Structure 1
């Protein structure tokens, strides 16, 4: 449809105005020679095409110039007309209508009487100018219409963009009334379509994180805390004040910190047919539905985080975030910021954009505090306060933020002994130790090893693109006989080693084992066969004095001492060597340093001081 047909009502009014001024019949056609408007006897033809006639109009559309026909029926343009030589018209005055450099139509003045002819001819120049002015008015109307359509299209397009944004958007008028809001904003503010037209109260908390200002938006008595960016509106738009683009904390956390989707880990991932693992799975089922704090204990590599994830997955919080933090892996100076967050400019060396802490990221979900025994005492006091009040304050901020987080802690250390030694707060210990969940070491449940080994073989083979056709029984017997000081983590490393060394027949045999495991317990490894990094050395034979007079605790201490000394002997006493030794032993570098001091080790050839 042509633009003149789109504004047909306006065009018809202009045609009537022309007819009233000049006193003749008027018709206006579009660029396809469709009669859009007409007056007098010509009005019966509105909506009809003139393509088979309209020879003068065709010339005007082609030339773009005003054309005067003083002798219709005899003019050269009329030769193909059936009425050539016998035309009833006395005179024609035709003016083009242009828009953006294109001819979009023609205004035609038709004189059908001698009196009309004389009147038009007597003031021809004035009427030509008048007609061109009216053509300009019609062009202006067409332009306004097209611009309106463009604006509407642009607004629809912007609406689509705004609707698909991952953030809420509202436009506020000068009186703080919501003029426009996208779907996400209506959801975040829990107002639905009723948000439009509501007055909004916006209060800043004074905190800035990721260059976004934290604000509290109150609508109809309901307050929502959001991270917002305010965009001022052009002064030319007097009815509008500003555009607010915002996210809630969970949405911002997902986009900035890649918070994990709901975990697929379940209690079925806790493998092993032993009675001990059956009891562990049963304990998880009992613990999961509650809100109580859980303390998971066990040696390094036993799967404490796996148990924590299984508890979360079986809990009512399963659809909410599971956020883990290793208290031993983060320097003391940064751990507080990681837990509680900080605002822009909170302290020297802080992220200049600010940061959301793990407590806020885990809100309504579960926070897993791994290696809780490595948390410094001054932070233990702050953690205790948060657990009691269920409120946090970001570093550098005065505002208090309520949180709803379930705490699951884990440690390889004896927290009760640390409490006695004054290295762990007693009140925090009892707050975390509400429900203890111990994990037995792998050596105490050898019947679990085949099932766990088969599962690990399947996982690693899929990841490495290997296919295992069979597992030799002698290999499985040897794996089951090993005492696995590194527990399941060490077993996983051994499985990866075996798959790497597996032959073209895709069968896992004794030859695939690391040298330290290929040798039966009590036998020396063949010359030149050092234990590969990442795998524990064969269990050492305890010295006779220790075995006979020191008791079990002394035996464990000496075994641990020799294992640490052996790892350091393989990797060296440099910082990099200690890092590798810590990785092999499955402990943090900080824990390794403590063990070196506690076990009386130094960098001598024998590793003994």
Structure 2
């Protein structure tokens, strides 16, 4: 059981007790509804924060009856007969009064007299003492109610902050005089500044929001936000906050319009995605596409594995569009970075009765008769893995094809106990493994030119890349895969003029540095091996005996060395190059 409300305001309660004791010259004892002494004076002070179950019969009676109780003969009255300390009781008189909040007793306050000579005087004015004690009880209850309201308000503010931070739109809250009171995390990401920075920038007139015009297709307003010399295009609405008919502030809810446009273009492209539109001619990639296309017709659950940025979702959508479920929903769930309770509701739905049926349904239900794509399934917690496995097995309630993706080593996670074996074997039975870009050198120019054409069309530009730039791209290892190619080409287009032929020297400095300092050739094992053999042969010479020494130095047999010389086309010269 947690701490009581009286315990939470014990400092205030103790002050009340001390004042009452001083004024009335009687001892005060206050307990909460758990029979814990919250405050006490003189005789009771040492026992604070301790339970008094053995000696608190009068308190127990008041907690049960919710009525004020007067004990004129402590130790001998009926209520005291079962008290564990009645034979040691030194009290001469006691008044106990309940502390009631919203119809429930949250504690008891008592006045205790130890001076026998004053007893008759107290009895004569008993009604006054009872009335005074009940008033003090009401004050304590009011203090407790105030504390509860404060805690509820604090919780509501924290909850609201968390909820606002979870939404995908930017949110800025202004007060009556248009000063910034609050911004959520999405606003910080879009605007590139936190609350304190924006408040300061507004103060020095380096932050402003300018309304442009309404956008018919979104029924929202377009704005330009100026932060120093930077301008950001936003789309959204400013809503007034009205209190009793007065505008006490406003809330600006917005999107980054550039992201919105990209998402719109992306969604339009994705809807019509087919295997024919997935770019790649390298043998290992075309085999992957052929395998995926075969599996599209079989309606089995699938696992798509591959490094980040290889296009796992695009493959999933192409499979859906090629399958018998293509006219039904394709629903995506992103597991990375999601809180368990949030992702659980997203997959399986909400249970709140106040929501309508559509709002309560999870994506598993929304994907009925269609495809549910679970991105980064390895990030699901073991408990949610179990619920997903139950759903997969429950064919009667769920007519859904599951396509899961992962960039992790699920086999290792399964062996370590982080991933359920039954779910792993259910998904791994039909796996599509997408090769990384570094193993698809033939496809790098195709991808670069595809994204170049796409972004040039979006920006209204005519830009070409030289063969030297393409060659440089082919030598780079692309750890971010297709997504990295897309981002780099996009950056090149956005930093060049309207019409330009881009050679290596015209590349943005950071892109040039990235492509030249970290190339795939540095990590090509065959090239490293050839270079090592050449280095050793140059050191020892080309004679038969020299080659024996070279083979020994390399840790291989002479016959193996000759095979490698033939493989790498290393001819008989005194100086190898």
TM-score, scaled to structure 2 = 0.47
Larger radius of gyration: 1
Normalised by the size of structure 1, how large is the TM-score?
0.45
